[in-house]
Amino acid sequence: MFGIGALLAANVGLLVLLKWLGGAYLVWLGIQVWRSPALAQSRTAATLTSGRSLFQAGLFSALSNPKGILFFVAFLPQFIDPSRSLLVQFVIMAATFVVIEFFYELVVASLADRIQPWLKKVGKTFNRVFGGVFIGIGILLPLRG
């Protein structure tokens, strides 16, 4: 074991702290989603936002997501061959991830565009349901064994 796995194994209290912080963050996100306006009401604000600032917000969200970082640190090293160039292997894995993620996001954006009329009808209810789901998961996460 090395890296984050070793750190968490050596300090169980840190894992508990991370679970509580993660749960609190999900509750906070749930409250934000619950309180957010329906799509039809927020569309004008999104239209006024520049593509660059939307990109920066998405990039910050992706880079600060501990789940993605933990995935790279915990999952990918098992596919590394120490006898070969680590840089080349990293570049191949990173490029593969970027290509897959790009097409995934393209599909998500396309589907989001298609369900937009439905979301305009049920937007506030949709926000409250999924805000409640986030809050519920945030409460249950740290309580789970």
Give the model confidence (pLDDT) of 95-145 as tens digits: 898 899 889 988 998 898 888 888 888 888 999 999 999 999 999 988 886
Higher pLDDT, 40 or 90: 90
**Phi, psi dihedrals of residue 82, rounded to the nearest 5°:** -65, -20
Q: What are the φ and ψ backbone dihedral angles of 142, each rounded to 5 degrees?
A: -75, -20
Which residue did the predictor score with more confidence, 106 or 2? 106
Q: d(Cα 28, Cα 44) in Å, to the nearest integer?
A: 25
pLDDT of residue 130: 93
Write out the residue range of the structural domain in which residue 32 sits: 4-143
User: What pTM value is reported for the model?
Assistant: 0.54
Domain total of the chain: 1
Confidence grade of residue 80 (pLDDT, cut at 50, 70, 90)? confident
pLDDT of residue 40: 60
